[in-house]
DNA sequence: ACCTGATTCAAACAAGTGTTTCAATCATAC
DNA sequence: GTATGATTGAAACACTTGTTTGAATCAGGT
């Protein structure tokens, strides 16, 4: 019933996730993965079908956990009506760095993996990721809309992409110990950006003519 | 003197840049590159030495152009003292989408390439990129510091990373025709984030205890 | 004990990779 | 024209890749 040693399947998942994050999907080879996981080379194709399918399994495991954690914190933030903008942003940002039981290292690894998926624009993985992300993003965009009832919903969705970019790249890059502080900074930064009033057409025009002069 | 047809070297650079951006460094093969560029397979190794060296050459060409364009616009913004924050941010953001003579398509392609380089944390390319980026980033951080004399320089550098993340990921993802509008939005968003006052310790404490309750 | 299906193992496979080689061709200066 | 160095061309090289195969081993039920 309770097996002490981790199953072959899980050892492959953990090792492959680490190596994919560190080196990238095409650089990490099945021979390297299976050797470091101390399993047979054929085990990957037996348990997952292919290298691609292994990658999909890795992503599904983490993305589900991340989405669930974000949703839970979002629900908590929405108990106040209208919700506090900072609480909504916290619900989005904080789970990204501590959603795994194993602590920060795993979370950061997955952010690196996520960044690679973003870079691989027209792969199955990219499509799958955006698909699983889509409804979470919509819920957060709606929640921000409730926190800022005067804002244009379309514009909010676009600005949410700014936050995703800042979060993903910064978390994938930064030193481990700083992530918690940086996450707080990002929430403050993003809240101010979202709250900023949009310039009038007249002000826009003034800026463009200024640029033309230079 | 003036050759009508593009040189072998340049055809390789252009084609490889496109394929590296679309598919990634390891997926795009030399056979595919040389075939689409209509040059011999051995030409890459003859003109550049290796596939890696070809990638470095591609990066150098664009990054130099991007840095130069940014510096020029930054100098223009600094003619006013203290500079306008929005002008400094414009100098950083706008060249990213229109720094090549060929229009937006090339610029976006390079943003995709840049995103891949960010994802490849511990490669030579990543190191080289950050190295070439470093002094430009420092100048922009200083300029923002002049525009916002009350801000903490260390914090500004960190927030500049947020902007880089938002810019790179958004530009690499978004539809071509929207880039100019999005760039304007990003400048407004980032300016507000940078101007936002930092919360007092007491306010921070209040937020943390709030989270603990949930 | 025996059967059955799931799992592991070593070995091989077919295909594709970046790179090298060396002869053929080109441009240019004498 | 001819010699000289730079460039191109077709072919081969050495190696690695993901995947498949079929026998060996294991676990659980009857």
pLDDT, one tens digit per residue, over B60-101 is 999 998 999 999 999 999 999 999 999 999 999 998 876 544
- Inter-chain residue contact B26 with A22, CB threshold 8 Å: no
φ/ψ region of A12 (left if φ > 0, alpha if ψ in -120 to 50, else beta) reads: alpha
Q: Is the pLDDT of residue B209 over 80?
A: no
- Inter-chain residue contact B191 with A196, CB threshold 8 Å: yes
Assess whether B29 (CB) lies less than 7 A from strand C. Answer: yes
User: For residue A100, what pLDDT is reported?
Assistant: 46
Mean pLDDT of B123-132: 88
Nearest-by-Cβ selection for A119 from B115, B207, B211:
B115
- Taking only the tens place, the pLDDT of each residue in A159-199 is 999 999 999 999 888 776 778 888 999 999 999 999 998 87
- Inter-chain residue contact A172 with B196, CB threshold 8 Å: no
Q: Looking at the domain that runs over A57-196, which CATH code has it been given?
A: 1.10.357.10
Distance, CA of B40 to C1' of C21, in Å: 15
pLDDT band at B173 (very low <50, low <70, confident <90, very high): confident
Nearest to A39 by CA among A15, A8, A13, A3: A8
A166 chain-B contacts, CB cut-off 8 A? 161-163, 165-166
Q: Is the pLDDT of residue B43 over 60?
A: yes
Q: Is the pLDDT of residue B31 over 70?
A: yes
Tokens coding A52: 């691609």
Give CA separation, B80 vs A88, B38, B83, B87, B146, in Å.
39, 50, 5, 10, 11
> What does the alpha-carbon distance between residue A112 and residue A22 come to, in Å, rounded to a whole number?
8
Nearest to B174 by CA among A161, A179, A103, A52: A161
Q: Tell me whether B73 touches chain A (CB under 8 Å).
A: yes
How many interchain CB pairs under 8 A, A with B? Answer: 126
- Inter-chain residue contact A173 with B118, CB threshold 8 Å: yes
What lies within 8 Å, CB to CB, of B67 at 6+ separation is B132, B133, B136
Cis peptide before A12 (omega within 30 of 0): no
Burial per residue of A137-151, b for 16 or more beta-carbon CB atoms within 10 angstroms, e otherwise: bebbbbbbbebbeeb
What lies within 8 Å, CB to CB, of B26 at 6+ separation is A24, A26, A27
Residue A196's φ and ψ, nearest 5 degrees, are -60, 135
Residue A127: CA atoms inside 13 Å, Cβ hemisphere, count? 3
> CATH fold of A1-49, please?
Arc Repressor Mutant, subunit A (1.10.10)
User: For residue A210, what pLDDT is reported?
Assistant: 60
Nearest to A174 by CA among B198, B165, B59: B165
Nucleotides of C under 7 A from a protein CB: 7-12, 16-22
CATH homologous superfamily of domain B56-197? Answer: Tetracycline Repressor, domain 2 (1.10.357.10)
Nearest-by-Cβ selection for B86 from A164, A193, A207:
A207
Q: Tell me whether A17 touches chain B (CB under 8 Å).
A: no
pLDDT band at A135 (very low <50, low <70, confident <90, very high): very high
Cis peptide before B82 (omega within 30 of 0): yes
- Inter-chain residue contact B165 with A170, CB threshold 8 Å: yes
Tokens coding A190: 């993003």
Domain boundaries, chain B: 1-49, 56-197
Nucleotide nearest to B30 (CA to C1'): C18
Distance, CA of A43 to C1' of C10, in Å: 13
What lies within 8 Å, CB to CB, of A137 at 6+ separation is A157, A160, A164
User: For residue A193, what pLDDT is reported?
Assistant: 98
Q: Is the pLDDT of residue B207 over 90?
A: no
Please, what is the angle between helix A85-93 and helix A153-173, to 10°?
Answer: 40
């Amino acid at each position: 019933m309770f097996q002490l040693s981790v199953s072959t399947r899980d050892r492959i998942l953990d090792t492959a996730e680490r190596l994919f994050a560190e080196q990238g999907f095409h650089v990490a080879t099945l021979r390297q993965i299976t050797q470091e996981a101390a399993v047979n080379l054929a085990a990957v194709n037996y348990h997952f079908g292919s290298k691609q399918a292994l990658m999909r399994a890795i992503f599904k495991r983490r993305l589900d956990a991340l989405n669930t954690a974000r949703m839970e914190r979002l629900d908590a933030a929405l108990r106040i009506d209208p919700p506090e903008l900072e609480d909504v942003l916290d619900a989005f940002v904080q789970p990204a760095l501590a959603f795994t039981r194993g602590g920060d290292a795993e979370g950061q690894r997955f952010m690196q993996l996520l960044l690679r998926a973003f870079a691989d624009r027209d792969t199955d993985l990219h499509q799958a990721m955006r698909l699983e992300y889509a409804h979470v993003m919509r819920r957060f965009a709606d929640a921000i809309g409730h926190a800022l009832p005067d804002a244009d919903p379309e514009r909010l969705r676009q600005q949410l992409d700014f936050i995703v970019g800042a979060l993903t790249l910064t978390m994938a890059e930064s030193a481990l110990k700083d992530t918690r502080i940086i996450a707080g900074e990002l929430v403050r930064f993003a809240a101010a950006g979202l709250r900023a009033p949009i310039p009038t057409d007249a002000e826009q025009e003034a800026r463009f003519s200024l640029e033309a002069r230079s």
